[in-house]
Amino acid sequence: MRNWRWALLALALLLAWLQYRFWFGPGNSGEVMTLEAQVEHQNRDNDGLQQRNDALAAEVQDLKEGQAAIEERARSELGMIKPGEKFYRVVEDAPVAPVQAPSAGPVPTDHPADVP
């Protein structure tokens, strides 16, 4: 009967030690939740970067294979036109800012302290 008491005491101490390590020791539950949140944030960042990389890879592929993408880039970025085409440029008038009256400076007062 006495051996059972020692075994029960040893199991209770082991349980207490394990609970302490779970809640307060290195790698505790709070640290695990923080790391899981960081991993989730990094996964979202990686997904966004993967989408950007996929779009850039598709654009590179289109530039390598298709003439339409090259022509569109030449027209929009370099201002090039095909032989025989006419180029028309539409320039809109810039809006005129309202003119403000110049300020007259500080208003003089009749206080003796303000007179030099």
**1-50 tens-digit pLDDT:** 678 888 889 999 999 988 888 778 777 778 888 999 999 999 999 999 99
Number of domains in the chain: 1
Domain around 43: 31-79
Residue at 86 is within a domain: no
Specify the length of the chain in residues.
116
Residue 57 counted as domain residue: yes
Q: Is residue 48 part of a domain?
A: yes
53 within a domain of the structure (yes/no): yes
Within a domain: residue 39?
Answer: yes
Q: How far apart are the first and last CA of the chain?
A: 106
In a domain, residue 99? The reply is no
**Section 66-77 average pLDDT:** 81
Residue (of 39, 19, 38) closest to 29 by Cα position: 19
Tokens of 69: 């993408």
Q: Are 87 and 93 in contact (CB under 8 A)?
A: no
Does residue 61 lie in a domain region?
Answer: yes
Let me know if residue 12 belongs to a domain: no
Percent of the chain's residues with pLDDT above 70: 85
- CA–CA distance from 20 to each of 12, 15, 25, 103 (Å)? 12, 9, 6, 74
